[in-house]
């Protein structure tokens, strides 16, 4: 990865190489962290963070679910994020705020471990490979399901959830797919290891419901809003596996993945096996905001 100069850790900007934790930290043993993935874009009007307020709020929500009290206010975390980007001199970057249970005492009981916060920023390119925003990716349906409801809460972006994501991702990579699409425990389409999914047929846009073991992504929300404004019908609904195979277009959304077209699922060709026209229109309208800095929706925080 591209190292940056500084990482914000517990209120101070320190050197990247000094941002360390102890091996006996609770998080190392039990996955007890919450985090975010945010992007800062170099727009035509200057550098701007996309959905900063929303991401910091989700970090608070994820932490609340795990009874973690963050020792900083949301305002302080936003200021710290901007300070970190400035200290690293990025024009564009990926931002990773992380809240974790550190040292105190071990054992599952998390309450005796201190809560710490770090914010790292670094320059990160295409998430699912080069050229994929145009050419699309090949994916498989995972043999792993997403977490069942009332097991690991999918609305919390918590470190431990990404063990499930890793199983999905490693299985996909082992068979040379870029990504795996997981079903929920009832067998309906849920999401990718790090992306939400959209399926288009006959001009109607479908996406799984927020109760289907997904992380309700901000990119998902942005795409639903853009699609409705363009006059498309958008349905949050149950999507059976076979709907993927007969779709006209499919795409994945996420902060890292942006809007990535899918050209095949389980080797079934999707559409013409390249980016479909509606996918391209939605992608164009989304990327226009972060490229031009024209922000009718108030999504950007200029720094």
As annotated, the active-site residues are: 157
From candidates 6, 140, 220, 263, binder to ligand PPE by CB under 6 A? 220
Largest CA distance in the chain: 57
- Specify the residue, 162 or 245, whose C-beta has the smaller distance to ligand PPE: 162
Q: According to the binding rule CB under 6 A, does residue 208 interact with ligand PPE?
A: no
Q: According to the binding rule CB under 6 A, does residue 299 interact with ligand PPE?
A: no
- Specify the residue, 197 or 265, whose C-beta has the smaller distance to ligand PPE: 197
Q: According to the binding rule CB under 6 A, does residue 164 interact with ligand PPE?
A: no
Q: According to the binding rule CB under 6 A, does residue 215 interact with ligand PPE?
A: yes
Q: Which stretch binds ligand PPE (CB under 6 A): 65-73, 104-112, 213-221, 280-288?
A: 213-221
- Specify the residue, 177 or 218, whose C-beta has the smaller distance to ligand PPE: 218
Q: How far apart are CA 172 and CA 180, in angstroms?
A: 5
Q: How far apart are CA 109 and CA 105, in angstroms?
A: 9
Task: Give me the residues paired with residue 181 across strands.
Answer: 141, 192
Q: Which stretch binds ligand PPE (CB under 6 A): 3-11, 103-111, 198-206, 214-222?
A: 214-222
Q: How far apart are CA 279 and CA 276, in angstroms?
A: 5
From candidates 8, 144, 188, 218, binder to ligand PPE by CB under 6 A? 218
Q: How far apart are CA 131 and CA 135, in angstroms?
A: 6
From candidates 4, 191, 200, 282, binder to ligand PPE by CB under 6 A? 191
- Residue 215, both tokens: 């992380």
206 alpha-carbon distance from chain centroid: 19
Q: Which stretch binds ligand PPE (CB under 6 A): 17-25, 202-210, 252-260, 268-276?
A: 252-260
Q: According to the binding rule CB under 6 A, does residue 260 interact with ligand PPE?
A: no
Residue 12, burial from CB neighbour count under 10 angstroms (0-12, 13-18, 19+): exposed
- Put residue 95 in one of left, alpha, beta given phi > 0 → left and psi -120 to 50 → alpha: beta
Helix, strand, coil: what percent of the chain each, to 5?
Answer: 30, 30, 40
| Distance of closest approach, residue 191 Cβ to ligand PPE, in angstroms | 5
- Specify the residue, 171 or 273, whose C-beta has the smaller distance to ligand PPE: 171
From candidates 196, 212, 279, 283, binder to ligand PPE by CB under 6 A? 196
Q: Is 152 helix (H, G, I), strand (E, B) or coil?
A: coil
Task: Give me the residues paired with residue 31 across strands.
Answer: none
Place of tokens 């699609």: 227
CA-nearest of 298, 293, 294, 297 to 42 is 293
Q: Which stretch binds ligand PPE (CB under 6 A): 25-33, 74-82, 254-262, 289-297?
A: 254-262
Q: How far apart are CA 224 and CA 137, in angstroms?
A: 21
- Specify the residue, 113 or 215, whose C-beta has the smaller distance to ligand PPE: 215
Q: How far apart are CA 224 and CA 207, in angstroms?
A: 9
Q: Which stretch binds ligand PPE (CB under 6 A): 75-83, 111-119, 189-197, 277-285?
A: 189-197
Positions in 37-56 near ligand PPE (CB under 6 A): 37
- Specify the residue, 1 or 23, whose C-beta has the smaller distance to ligand PPE: 1
Binding positions for ligand PPE, rule: CB under 6 A = 37, 165, 191, 194-196, 215, 217-220, 253-257
């Amino acid at each position: 990865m591209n190292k940056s100069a500084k990482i914000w850790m517990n209120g101070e900007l320190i050197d990247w190489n000094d941002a360390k934790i102890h091996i006996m930290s609770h998080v190392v043993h039990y996955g007890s962290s919450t985090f975010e993935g945010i992007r800062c874009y170099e727009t035509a009007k200057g550098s701007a963070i996309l959905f900063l307020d929303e991401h910091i709020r989700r970090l608070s929500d994820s932490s609340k679910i795990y009874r973690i009290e963050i020792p900083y206010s949301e305002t302080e975390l936003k200021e710290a994020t901007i300070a970190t980007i400035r200290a690293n001199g990025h024009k564009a970057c990926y931002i990773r705020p992380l809240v974790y249970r550190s040292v105190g005492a071990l054992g599952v009981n998390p309450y005796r471990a201190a809560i710490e916060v770090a914010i790292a920023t670094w320059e990160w390119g295409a998430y699912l490979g080069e050229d994929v925003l145009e050419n699309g990716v090949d994916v498989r349906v995972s043999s792993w399901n997403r977490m069942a409801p009332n097991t690991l809460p999918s609305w919390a972006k918590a470190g431990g959830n990404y063990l499930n994501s890793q199983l999905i991702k490693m299985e996909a990579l082992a068979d040379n797919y870029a990504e795996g699409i997981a079903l929920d425990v009832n067998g309906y389409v849920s999401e990718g290891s790090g992306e939400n999914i959209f399926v288009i047929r006959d001009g109607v846009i479908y996406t799984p419901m927020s109760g289907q073991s997904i992380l309700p992504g901000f990119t998902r929300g942005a795409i639903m809003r853009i699609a409705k404004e363009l006059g498309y019908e958008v349905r949050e609904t149950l999507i059976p596996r076979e709907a993927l195979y007969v779709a006209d277009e499919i795409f994945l959304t996420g902060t890292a993945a942006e809007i990535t077209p899918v050209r095949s699922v389980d080797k079934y060709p999707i559409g013409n096996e390249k980016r479909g026209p509606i996918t391209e229109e939605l992608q164009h309208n989304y990327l226009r905001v972060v490229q031009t800095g024209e922000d009718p929706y108030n999504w950007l925080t200029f720094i």
